[in-house]
């Protein structure tokens, strides 16, 4: 019997290092397959983006039909474009024993939690407001207005930290990665997971 995979949500303000942590986690050796959910979007592909790898690119009509059919765990409209997380695709991956990670904001996390209360939610925080601003400026690609807007968005995002199961302070990257790995392993070692995975062992021990 295949043990169901775990569903994780990772949320963070821009510049906290969430994407780098997820990428590093997926590169580690793991006894179970892990995958980041690929969202659906109505925006046009950017140069280098591949359909089905970076996003599932769909029309607004297709997206609205999917909303009507309750296809999404969560969705939102951002600057005129829709983004959503497919419930069908994720449930299929979980049924195959794959641990799935959702890279979404606090609003999306609330929507998913309503449908799947057992989801594990993780908030990635920068070590300080100043460090967050330093990281955003260090990218060297945003105007002052954009940086200030991202800082305001970060404050709004951080105001919801109490809604998450776990909090990781990304001050030292390697320690933050260790913390994230520990959380994932904790979920895998829960009784419900282990009892399903080792049914034969416990049947033998109790015979």
Whether pLDDT at 9 is above 90: yes
Q: Mean per-residue pLDDT for 114-119?
A: 94
Residue 53 counted as domain residue: no
Q: Which residue has the tokens 């050796």?
A: 29
Residue 44 counted as domain residue: no
Burial of residue 84, with CB atoms counted within 10 A of its CB: 0-12 exposed, 13-18 middle, 19 or more buried: buried
Give residue 14's pLDDT band: very low, low, confident or very high (50, 70, 90): confident
pLDDT at 171: 95
Residue 70 counted as domain residue: no
Whether pLDDT at 99 is above 70: yes
Domain extent, residue 199, equals 7-36+99-205
Residue 108 counted as domain residue: yes
What is the value of pTM for the model shown? Answer: 0.88
pLDDT at 143: 86
Q: What is the number of domains present in the chain?
A: 1
CATH of the domain at 118: 3.40.50.300
Residue 61 counted as domain residue: no
Residue 157 counted as domain residue: yes
Residue 29 counted as domain residue: yes
pLDDT at 2: 72
pLDDT at 135: 87
pLDDT at 67: 95
Residue 24 counted as domain residue: yes
Beta-strand pair 34-36/99-103: parallel
């Amino acid at each position: 019997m295949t043990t169901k995979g775990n569903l994780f949500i990772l949320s963070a303000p821009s510049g906290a290092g969430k994407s780098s942590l997820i990428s590093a986690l997926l590169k580690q050796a793991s006894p179970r397959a892990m995958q980041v959910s690929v969202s659906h979007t109505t925006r046009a592909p950017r140069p280098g983006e591949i359909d089905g790898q970076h996003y599932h690119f769909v029309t607004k009509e297709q997206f609205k039909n999917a909303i009507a059919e309750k296809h999404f765990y969560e969705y939102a409209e951002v600057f005129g474009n829709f983004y959503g997380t497919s419930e069908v695709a994720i449930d299929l991956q979980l049924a195959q024993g794959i641990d799935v990670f959702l890279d979404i904001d606090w609003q999306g996390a609330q929507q998913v939690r309503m449908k799947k209360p057992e989801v594990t939610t993780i908030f990635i925080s920068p070590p300080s407001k100043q460090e967050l601003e330093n990281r955003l400026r260090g990218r060297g690609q945003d105007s002052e207005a954009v940086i200030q807007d991202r800082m305001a968005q970060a404050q709004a995002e951080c105001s919801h930290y109490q809604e998450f199961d776990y909090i990781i302070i990304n001050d030292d990257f390697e320690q933050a990665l260790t913390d994230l790995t520990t959380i994932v392993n904790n979920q895998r070692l829960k009784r419900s997971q282990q009892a399903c995975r080792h049914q034969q062992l416990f049947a033998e021990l109790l015979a």
